[in-house]
Amino acid sequence: MIRVKICGLNDAPGFDAALGAGADWIGLNFFARSPRAVTVAQAAALAQRRPPGGPLPGGPLLVGLFVEPADDEVARVLDAVPLDILQLYTPPERAAAIAAQAAKPFWYPVAVSARADLPAAMAGAAALLIEGRAPAGASRPGGNASAFDWSLTRGWRAPGPWLLAGGLTAENVAAAIVTAGAAAVDVSSGVESSPGHKDPARIRAFIAAARAAG
C-alpha cells in the first residue's frame, strides 16, 4: 500500500481530516517564513488531537520540519511536541548530529533536476525526500509546489526508503506514483485552498487517489 504524508498542517480541520483519512505521517512546519508555519504552542495543541496510545495504532507519526535549526530550537520543540521524526533542511552531517542529539530518526530532503542528483547513500537518514529544486530566488527550500521529471527515479536503485514530493495533487498523484516507482508520497500545497490553508476535502481526495494507485 502506498504510504502518504500530509505536510504543513496548521489547523484542527486539516489535522483531523488527515487523521480520519488514514495518513501515515503528519508534517508540522517550524520554518517561520513558511505560510504553513506553526508555533510550538500550536503544534502541541494539534499533537494532542492524535488518538492516545502512541503513533501506532493510535494515529500517524508526527514529522517536524526544520530549516537550518539551532540545537536549542529543536530541543525547545521536542520539550512540548511529541515528534517522531525530524525532517531537516541542513547539510547531512549537521542533520545527523541534530538527530543524534535529539535521539530521533531524521529524513533528509534531496533536490533533483537530473538523474545524477539521485543519492547513492542514506547519509544516516531513515528516509530520503526526493523533490524538485527550489526555483531561483525562492525564500524557502523544497519543491515549492513544482514537480520534477518523475521518470528520473524510474529504475533508480535507492539506498533506502524514500518519498516522492513536489507538485503533487489528487489529480496527478496516481500518475506520479506509477511513473516514479514511488512507494510513498508527500504533499503540502497540493491539498490547499490557498497558501497555508489546508482543504479537508482535498486531503481526503489525495489520500484516496494515492492509495488507489498502489
State percent of the chain over pLDDT 90: 86
What is the CATH number for 160? Answer: 3.20.20.70
Q: Residue 173's pLDDT is what?
A: 98
Q: Residue 141's pLDDT is what?
A: 59
Give the domain range for residue 197. Answer: 3-213
Q: pTM for this structure?
A: 0.92
pLDDT exceeds 60 at position 99: yes
Helix, strand, coil percent values for the chain (each to nearest 5):
35, 20, 45
What DSSP assignment string belongs to 154-171? TT---SS-EEEESS--TT
pLDDT exceeds 90 at position 159: yes
Q: How confident is the model at residue 147 (pLDDT cuts 50, 70, 90)?
A: confident
Q: Residue 89's pLDDT is what?
A: 96
Overall domain count for the chain: 1
Q: Residue 133's pLDDT is what?
A: 83
Q: How confident is the model at residue 71 (pLDDT cuts 50, 70, 90)?
A: confident
